[in-house]
Structure 1
């Protein structure tokens, strides 16, 4: 290890390890995989010859070492794809308690990167401290080889572009794609920081159309990490919806996909007229809460999640009353139940305002599933242990299904609170995204992967209306029933459906996107990719297992 020439080659090999791994994980043509190794290797090779102290150059390239460690952990977690823009944004939008829940289950990946990189960094530091040098002859010889390798690398890049029309350097060549994503992350973070200025003059020009003398209450519930596959309302073979299945006036829409598998994108789309087709306009828009305020409603926003310093916070704070209940305690381990939101709803309803609008953002079925419901509500057993390992899948599924039953009870209690008011009322529910739980041979787990799966996209979408509401607006229930089996995007239709339910008129309302309208029209399926582009499902890297599940569930992927 004191031989500097040996260290030179060792450091070069360590730098290229992520590229080699990506050759096995990414569905790219062979020529693209060759380019993904040759061209970065040549650049590293050339850079390593810029100093006679190889340890110094290794530390200068520390950013790429960090990217490499991050990339390996990401591949361990999701199985494929490079570090996405959303991964970097998650570093600043994920709270510490969520991060610790995840890190606890990444120990093997973390140990691997420590073994790979830490000893090498220590050897490089020793080389710097002891001022060891490579010979001038060695540097000249290796630099010549590096230039030859670089030439071959550029030839392979040209071949990749020539043989694959979909090949993009900014998307397919590591670490150039990661550097591009870092730049995008900084750009989006800067735009988010100026949101209050860029959106301050926005208005929906909203006007009410329902009778002014009739009391109305509307509640939007945004769930967390709940997938439709595990709801008995959608033919799951376990009874996970014992309460909702007995309530009159509930309509469940079957073929609903979200356009994002990340909370910080999905929830803002649910709460605004923004979708994958125009997502970047979000920096200039406000949420549905402002539309209801303009229409004369008393508004409230209650969340069981911590601040994420982004649009969910901004939108929630538009309300007349808002409370992020996890922020009520300084303890990072504070983990209140979603039931605490119900107490806030009761207090809001006690105000007796003639026009009320309430938005709830629950913690639903977010991992760790076992912590999402009280021990007394553990119906499916055993629900321990729930470590993120394939061998515990049955336990994980029991705990996850228990969390769905808990959501079922939560929504039923909201409905009962509204029934007690004996007014025109409705509740609209969907989840931000679904979840992978080691469902097939890929052994995928969690959500927010750069390439989504079927399990992360298919979400529940429910509507309940009160007796008096159905009597006053009979066309709503009829249209909802007519659209129940149609292809729906929650990201597009959640906002539009609530606007129609409440009878709010605005230029931003589009009844062809509302599932309670006879004008509803099915749209082509798209997904909001990492670069905020709407892409068809067959162009985002989804695998055959996902399309087989979509077909099995009767969902059109087009």
Structure 2
């Protein structure tokens, strides 16, 4: 030790225990300070959010003669601090949510790499902040350099003096904090709680087969077994209604569907979730935000069709991710994930699903139900369509930067045009069967594309935006269907300008279109019904609780958009 001090006197002074103590303490508390500026917490909650963890960290670090050893014990906190900073860079607010942890298990590596490529500034920041102290602390522990004599009284003084405002602010938060909750408003306690909730979700997911084995829709068809019928349910990805010309967008993003007979557009549709792993199960089952926990013991819409005597197929342009999406999809008689199939291009486009639709149609089943899960407009948008389909240009560069917004919008609109092309070819394929048939399309959620001064981008943020939950919905019915069921088509048109929750109505509508009744049927939720009732929108929050729009923290810009688009939310 004396050799190190004599050989590197300046370095030994810089690496004294007290200097490192403050260095480590500041790094650990960075996300707490940042959250004070981003979260809508009370003042006393923000004060507690800084001083309570500061006091705890100071006491822990002071308990080690070698302060670097204490930092290594706390490095898991530093790891989550880095994660938190990246999250704030990406979404602008909120702690690391349950959905963030679940997204780690359900996002495929290709999606992750597309996103990470565009988070370089945030990654550089966290590497600069949190890698050097890791190397320094390991060096100090291994070399025992930090045992250079340093007065620990200063560290203990900081710990004691921070303890007083910590206790006082915590008491004040409980008294005047407006329903203050440590589990929600104290970092990193809230992160730990969210990890627990995510682990609990994964545990139930692991036992899904056991929990759902006795579930039945008791589904029955009211139509003749001899009459051929085809119904197709298309679940899109990351498509927002504001960029569909069928929904009022001024750019020609739906040139084919806008001229297709039998297409009915629904411009006032909101999703109950902005994350795929929640919104798709909501679309594929009777489950809603109000009873989401029942998803662990429920089966999907495919099971209802199977019970009613239909041959079923699930065709996906997604990857396996061991979620409810997979569970509900694998209920089908025929299950194809084209990304997992040999001989398919590395990055298949949605039109690559159509040959498999053709195969199902050619099998000649009288009663056929197909669910298609597309890749839609998932970032990176330019990768979602072939170069020959680039109508709006320039469509590059499309790196995640607000200065690239014109190019990003061009690429995004091209992806919507490609969805239009996909749906048009699908309809023409079904129409060619000359039987009673219908198709329903909606998207799981929308997307932010630097639309206002907040400069928000992507989706799945802990607090949604208007653009993330306003989704397109269309229904197409064939001419034979219209002739056989004119009352259903009448109500589909009559309800087209009403306010709709896709998570509530899509399941009920596709079953009504096919003439299937279940023990979960709710007439007032079906767009085919004369009894359809508009309702106030709910949002499924990160802790799986149904909340009103006033309580989830939407920004003023979001409420303005809702008002301007004639949505009611109170």
- CA distance in structure 1 between the partners assigned to 2:394 and 2:148 by the alignment: 64
CA shift, 1:504, in A, is 0.8
Match of 2:440, SS? strand
Aligned counterpart, 1:277: 290
CA shift, 1:62, in A, is 1.2
Residue 400 of structure 1: which of 412, 421, 427 is its match?
Answer: 412
Residue 470 of structure 2: which of 449, 458, 480 is its match?
Answer: 458
Aligned counterpart, 1:54: 67
Residue 447 of structure 1: which of 438, 459, 464 is its match?
Answer: 459
Residue 262 of structure 2: which of 219, 243, 249 is its match?
Answer: 249
CA offset digits 1:102-140 (Å, max 9, x no partner): 000000000000000111111111110122446898335
Q: Is the 8 A contact 2:245 2:254 kept in 1?
A: yes
- CA distance in structure 2 between the partners assigned to 1:145 and 1:506 by the alignment: 65
Alignment of 1:73-92 (within 5 A): 73-92=86-105
Aligned counterpart, 2:210: 197
CA offset digits 1:402-443 (Å, max 9, x no partner): 000110111111111111111110000000000000000111
Q: Is the 8 A contact 2:272 2:502 kept in 1?
A: yes
Alignment of 1:199-278 (within 5 A): 199-278=212-291
CA offset digits 1:171-216 (Å, max 9, x no partner): 1111110000001111111110110111111111111111222100
Aligned counterpart, 2:9: none
- CA distance in structure 2 between the partners assigned to 1:211 and 1:523 by the alignment: 34
What RMSD over aligned residues (CA atoms) do the two structures have, in Å? 1.4
- CA distance in structure 2 between the partners assigned to 1:138 and 1:146 by the alignment: 14
Residue 56 of structure 2: which of 30, 34, 43 is its match?
Answer: 43
Aligned counterpart, 1:557: 569
Aligned counterpart, 1:505: 517
1:476 aligns with 2:488: yes
- CA distance in structure 2 between the partners assigned to 1:63 and 1:5 by the alignment: 22
Aligned counterpart, 1:301: 314
- CA distance in structure 2 between the partners assigned to 1:340 and 1:481 by the alignment: 31
Match of 1:307, SS? coil
Match of 1:393, SS? helix
CA shift, 1:147, in A, is 3.3
Q: Is the 8 A contact 2:243 2:253 kept in 1?
A: yes
Alignment of 1:91-170 (within 5 A): 91-133=104-146, 138-170=151-183
CA shift, 1:395, in A, is 0.5
CA shift, 1:54, in A, is 0.7
- Aligned CA distance change for structure 1 residues 312 and 117 (closer, same or farther; 3 Å): same
Match of 1:463, SS? strand
How many pairs are equivalent?
Answer: 557
Aligned counterpart, 1:327: 340
Aligned counterpart, 1:488: 500
1:535 aligns with 2:547: yes
Residue 545 of structure 1: which of 557, 562, 570 is its match?
Answer: 557
- CA distance in structure 1 between the partners assigned to 2:112 and 2:168 by the alignment: 42
Alignment of 1:335-374 (within 5 A): 335-374=347-386
Match of 2:432, SS? helix
The worse-fitting range, judged by mean Cα deviation, of 21-30 and 146-155 is: 146-155
- CA distance in structure 1 between the partners assigned to 2:291 and 2:145 by the alignment: 56
Aligned counterpart, 2:437: 425
Match of 2:519, SS? coil
- CA distance in structure 2 between the partners assigned to 1:39 and 1:396 by the alignment: 42
Q: Is the 8 A contact 2:18 2:154 kept in 1?
A: no
CA shift, 1:63, in A, is 1.1
Aligned counterpart, 1:318: 331
Match of 2:152, SS? helix
Match of 1:138, SS? coil
Unaligned stretches of 5+ in structure 1? none
Q: Is the 8 A contact 1:5 1:134 kept in 2?
A: no
The worse-fitting range, judged by mean Cα deviation, of 455-464 and 32-41 is: 32-41
Q: Is the 8 A contact 2:17 2:148 kept in 1?
A: no
Aligned counterpart, 1:414: 426
CA offset digits 1:43-62 (Å, max 9, x no partner): 11111112111111101011
- CA distance in structure 2 between the partners assigned to 1:499 and 1:247 by the alignment: 23
Q: TM-score, normalised by structure 2?
A: 0.96
CA shift, 1:330, in A, is 9.7
Q: Is the 8 A contact 1:229 1:236 kept in 2?
A: yes
CA shift, 1:142, in A, is 2.8
The worse-fitting range, judged by mean Cα deviation, of 22-31 and 282-291 is: 22-31
